[in-house]
Amino acid sequence: MTHSIAGFDFGTSNCAIGIAPQQQVQLLNFPEHGTYMPSTLFAPQSEMICGWLYQQLNAQGKAEAYRQARNQQLASSLRALKELKLDGYDEHLSFGKQALKEYLVDPADCYYVRSPKSFLGASGISQRQQQQFEDIAAAMMWHLAEQVRQSGQAELEKVVIGRPVNFQGLNSELSNQQALNILSNAAKFAGFKQTEFLYEPMAAGLSYQQQLEQEQRVLVIDIGGGTSDVSMLIMGPNYLATREHQDLVLGYNGERIGGNDFDIALNFETLMPALGSRLELEGGQPMPIKPFWDAAAINDFPAQTRFYGADTRNLLQRLLKQAQLSPLKGLLQLHKERQTYQLSAAAEQAKIALSSASSSQVDLSYLLDELQVRVELSAYQQACERLLNNIAMLSDEVIRQAQAQPDVIFLTGGSANSPLIRDFLSQRYQAPLVSGDNFGSVTGGLALWAEHIFA
């Protein structure tokens, strides 16, 4: 059976699409990715993304709105595509795991984006950068919609897209509006005829609600790849269909703290020292910390721009004249080969390993010969203390807004599997902790809400 109404989880770590005819949730299977597509994009050059997307849309007769919006840069992007082909390069985009594979072939000579959702609310981006984020999001949306079509489903027309409570940690409505504008424009370019948004923790709560037999106050803590969102919701059997949605919300809060930030904390506190972050300069002065933080902060667009800039390269080359700072050669190599995403992936694997072991070995020999770093669980726990306390502050504020304690805590999101996070929340709050499908709860709730408002 085909269905043109869907929930679209454009996630920081993964993307997924779900449908819910007759309130029965089904996550769709993408031929090239399975149920979830990692939120990554690879292009041989950034300049060709606009032209590539136009070609795909034009082949389906959907390009007019996009052509009008990109009239100025479209001709040059199409030329870039043509030149790539003449030079013997592939002129296609890749997504998901395939994007990572192609990036790792030559990180210094390509354009690779991981977790583009993390950048959508960034402050200080230019109009051209905002358009580039629209192109990236639209390309990913078009690709997944095409995957759905190839799998035999109907062409998606009406979608509900999940959004965090706050895209940035500054609680800035300007940042939120910027991010929503980018996603709205991208959805329009990708060919969706109608798009609505729903807070992700509320979507997760809707999935949990399906199993309830009586009313409960549920504290939904959704810890995703890029954000942590918390809501206190009144839930009960069939409340989705019989109660006004806004009346079920007793409080909500959110901040840009997610699984990526735990990776960054591990990276900065346990891996960067091997590249010189804690060394002293001549005269006993501390090492400038900014290059190390910028390198680790892969979810911060301005930080990554600074790290790969000439000022950082010149600083590292100047510091390397001091003999005792030779480990900085690894950081300079990271800069030269544009491998911050590769280092972040290594930190993520160490984090996963530490969920079931007391230590993990990280291979950094691609930065410095024979460099291996052992990461201890205790060091990781210490590195994450501030993040855990911030999540607790979000939850405490929502409980204060609701003026009531929760009957149950529903923990979901890709980072909800972490024993570190679960143990912390279990010790802090008295309510029982339950989990659903950590990766699929939001998608399922978005699908249920799409069916409710569009069908």
Whether 313 shows a pLDDT value over 90: the answer reads yes
CB contact burial 14-52 (16+ within 10 A = b; e otherwise): bbbbbbbeeeebbbbebebbeebbbbbbbbbbbbbbbbb
Query: What percentage of the chain carries pLDDT values higher than 90?
Result: 67
Domains, the chain: 5-199 (3.30.420.40), 214-258+386-435 (3.30.420.40), 260-384 (no CATH)
Structure tokens given for 113:
């984006």
| Strand-pair partners of 411 | 221, 435
Whether 171 shows a pLDDT value over 70: the answer reads no
Helix, strand or coil, per DSSP, at residue 411: strand
Whether 290 shows a pLDDT value over 80: the answer reads yes
**Could you read off the pLDDT of 74-125 as tens digits, one per residue?**
999 999 898 888 877 777 899 999 999 999 888 888 899 999 998 898 888 8
Higher pLDDT: 382 or 208? It is 382
Instruction: Compute the distance between CA of residue 210 and CA of residue 451 in angstroms, rounded to an integer.
Output: 14
The closest alpha carbon to 194, from 163, 162, 160, 164, belongs to: 160
What is the pLDDT averaged over residues 191-204? 91
Structure tokens given for 40:
């990554």
**Model confidence at 240, in pLDDT bands (50, 70, 90)?**
low
Instruction: Compute the distance between CA of residue 196 and CA of residue 301 in angstroms, rounded to an integer.
Output: 27
Strands 216-223 and 408-412: parallel
Q: How many CB atoms lie within 10 A of CB 173?
A: 9
What is the pLDDT averaged over residues 34-61? 95
**Model confidence at 1, in pLDDT bands (50, 70, 90)?**
very low
| Strand-pair partners of 87 | none
Which pLDDT score is estimated for 299?
85
HSE value, Cβ hemisphere, 13 Å, CA-based, for 95 = 26
The closest alpha carbon to 418, from 386, 384, 443, 375, belongs to: 384
Q: Do 425 and 409 touch, CB atoms closer than 8 A? A: yes
What is the pLDDT averaged over residues 239-253? 78
**Could you read off the pLDDT of 330-371 as tens digits, one per residue?**
999 999 999 999 999 999 999 999 989 999 999 999 999 999
Higher pLDDT: 168 or 81? It is 81
Whether 170 shows a pLDDT value over 70: the answer reads no
HSE value, Cβ hemisphere, 13 Å, CA-based, for 362 = 29
* Residue 189: its H or E element: helix 173-190
Instruction: Compute the distance between CA of residue 223 and CA of residue 212 in angstroms, rounded to an integer.
Output: 22
Residue with tokens 């800069």: 335
Handedness of CA 267, 162, 204, 391 (dihedral sign): positive
Sequence-separated (6 or more) residues with CB below 8 Å from residue 68: none
Residue 418 to residues 149, 254, 298, 413, 429, Cα–Cα distance (Å): 35, 19, 21, 10, 17
- Mean pLDDT over the full length of the chain: 91
**Could you read off the pLDDT of 371-400 as tens digits, one per residue?**
999 999 999 999 999 999 999 999 999 999
What is the pLDDT averaged over residues 236-247? 75
- The residue type at 167: F
Q: How many CB atoms lie within 10 A of CB 145?
A: 23
